[in-house]
Amino acid sequence: NERGCAQTAGRVAKRNRRGGAPQLPHSLLHARE
């Protein structure tokens, strides 16, 4: 699911620019799935 990771990473990056939620560990990104 590298594509899904890229999308999630992009969303997190946008949040980080706004000063939102910090980047989550890779394992937590897949915890939802």
Tell me, what's the pLDDT at 28? 67
30 or 21: which carries more pLDDT confidence? 30
Tokens 């990473």, residue located: 9
pLDDT at 21 over 60: no
Tell me, what's the pLDDT at 33? 53
Question: What is the Cα–Cα distance from 17 to 25, expressed in whole angstroms?
Answer: 18
Q: How confident is the model at residue 13 (pLDDT cuts 50, 70, 90)?
A: low
Range of the domain at 25: 2-31
Domains contained in the chain, number: 1
**Phi then psi dihedrals of residue 25, to 5 deg:** -60, 150
Q: Give the count of beta carbons closer than 10 Å to the beta carbon of residue 9.
A: 14
* 33 touches 1 (CB < 8 A): yes
pLDDT at 2 over 60: no
